[in-house]
Amino acid sequence: MSGPDAITLEGAARRAMQLRELLERYNHRYYVLDQPEVPDAEYDLRLRELQDLEAAYPELVTPQSPTQRVGATPAAAFAAVRHHLPMLSLDNAFSEEEVRAFDRRIHDRLADAGAVRYSAEPKLDGLAVNAIYIDGVYARAATRGDGETGEDITANLKTIRSLPLRLRTPHPPRLIEVRGEVYMPLAGFRRLNADAQKRGEKTFVNPRNAAAGALRQLDPRVSAARPLDLFAYGVGFAEDAQLPERQSEILSLLREWGFRVCPETRAVDSIEGCLEYFARIGEARPGLPYQIDGVVYKVDELVLQRELGFASRAPRWAIAHKFPAEEALTIVRDVEFQVGRTGALTPVARLEPVAVGGVTVSNATLHNIDELHRKDVRVGDTVTVRRAGDVIPEVVGVIFARRPDGTRPVELPEVCPVCGSPVVREADQAVARCTGGRRCAAQRREELIHFASRRALDIRGLGDKLVDQLVASGLVHTPADLFHLPADRLADLERMGEKSASKLLGAIETAKKTTFARFLNALGIRDVGEATAAALAAHFGDLDHLRAASEESVREVPDVGPVVAANVVAYFRDAENAAIVDRLIESGVHWPARPPAERSGGPLAGKTFVLTGTLARQSREAAAERIAARGGKVVASVSGRTNYLVVGADPGSKLAKAQALGVEILDEAAFERLLEG
């Protein structure tokens, strides 16, 4: 077919129908099943063909066409939509006792029911929506609103690719309300905020706010540009429909009809099964690609749901079991500046202790002086504190309405609070630094902690408190001193003794055998992290070549720019650093010799890799070494020159960038096959 003009209207109509069915199938496999059938370029080609046909024959355009998901004209305002069946909220349970009480109430009302089976699912932290289908065709959508009436978001919801525009069944209900949760995947949320920061725009506080804001845009084209997704979780009103009699079976039916349903949903037996599910989801929570704040239990049998009925504005047959709050309000008692390994001063809020995310929080980071001033955090302020998973607690914002009189802005100190050395801040840098170097006890402490850390020399048993003692006693000034610790002095330290001292000295001896990449990472060169250290090691092959390198030759390493190159060269040309490196080598720190990557061949020669996420079978450093041993290179960031992205659990924003650039993506199994092949 050479173009729309070459066919009749009848032929164009047939081809348009074929293309719509094809594109909807591609959409379903890509956005719902996570099983792409064709490359993105093929999808784009067929979409363009359909667009051309509809442009040539406007009478062929239908509201359900894939071309109509994006591009509707902005709405003047959101109209009110009354739900056929109210969208009720759920009662909450915050403890095991409250969950068991919920189960007892159900058994009290269902005296002869016997064991009760529940449908359990994660409680997504998103926005509840109601999508209406008439004769299987998407017709209208609304937010929950007040439960009875919501806002019309028909055009905006339509932009979400995982929403089917037509139910995948030959016998659809006359009318049906499908309930679901619109959310923003964490990777998309991070990408959205990163792009906003680059443009100097305000960032979103959390994925839920970002999703709600995106869905309530008057211009659907703005919604379409946001990384939204949808999980269906149930059915409201249905007319002329033969539906299953279990909630778990309804979810299966929704999958068949083309909806995405949360893959973590399970049917469980008894309240014990619910509590086991809660514990399992709690453990899996940090690795989920979306944000949740609890789980939901629903009586699985619909006939029992109808018998239990409703209490006020919540069903008696369902409850939300919430995780401990990850945000809380507290008061700032002080703001102090901590000094890091490279001298960076980080403002830290000392807080009135508060329970957040299941732990008591009394300190929270403020990142840097610019962030502190942007949020305008002051001593005496009431602030919102957030803690997600194992992330360091942070101050989200100030409740200005509660600010007491007489507060003052916090200013950057002129001298280091630890050693009294001048604090400097370069004009183009967000970070201010202490100029004391190793004269500063705080910098010495952080340098040693980093040197002994798991991804550096991995000295088992050398924890923060022991490092504090080593620094305070004067036994250790530099990392090289660790390899000359006297056993008797070490045994005299608090909570040590001869046995513990001997064990630590054994761990230090073991750490002498390492890799070049680990050694470089352990040195703590400014702006040189694990990935850059691996790239430097692969490129130069040995320490002598790297120490003799110029800035120009260091910049030849993939993804190493002028700032990092200058820091690397400056580190090795500093007399004190050079002496420490010499002592480390003289003390017996060593690694297997290997020629530079550019001089070695191998099956991966000329191939560039980026590693992201947590690998299950090996550390990222071990993976990088295996790549280098086969002639490949590992770099820190994804670009158009990247050949492969190796993806582990919780990959972050690199995955999205690789997908956008068409970089080949390998899971760990595919990565192993490539290495062995």
Catalytic (active-site) positions = 123
Using CA atoms, how far apart are residues 61 and 68, in angstroms rounded to an integer? 8
DSSP assignment string, 296-312: EEEESBHHHHHHH-EET
Nearest to 298 by CA among 233, 236, 363: 233
- Is 422:414 a contact under the CB 8 Å cutoff? yes
Tell me how far CA of residue 340 lies from CA of 45, 108, 183, 444, 525, in angstroms.
52, 59, 37, 9, 13
State which amino acid sits at residue 50.
L
Residue 277 backbone dihedrals phi, psi, to 5 degrees: -65, -45
Tell me how far CA of residue 66 lies from CA of 50, 108, 508, 540, 650, in angstroms.
9, 50, 63, 52, 31
User: Which residues neighbour 582 within 8 Å (Cβ) at sequence distance 6 or greater?
Assistant: none
- Is 585:523 a contact under the CB 8 Å cutoff? no
Radius of gyration over every alpha carbon of the chain, rounded to an integer in angstroms: 30
User: Which residues neighbour 477 within 8 Å (Cβ) at sequence distance 6 or greater?
Assistant: 438, 444
What is the total residue count of the chain?
A: 677
Nearest to 157 by CA among 139, 177, 169: 139
- Is 356:348 a contact under the CB 8 Å cutoff? no
Using CA atoms, how far apart are residues 332 and 442, in angstroms rounded to an integer? 24
Cα 491 from chain centroid (whole Å): 43
Kindly state the DSSP code that residue 125 receives in the 8-state scheme: S
Using CA atoms, how far apart are residues 393 and 353, in angstroms rounded to an integer? 12
Kindly state the DSSP code that residue 435 receives in the 8-state scheme: S
| In 24-75, beta strands by DSSP E | none
Using CA atoms, how far apart are residues 482 and 506, in angstroms rounded to an integer? 12
CA angle 380, 385, 391 (to 5 degrees): 135
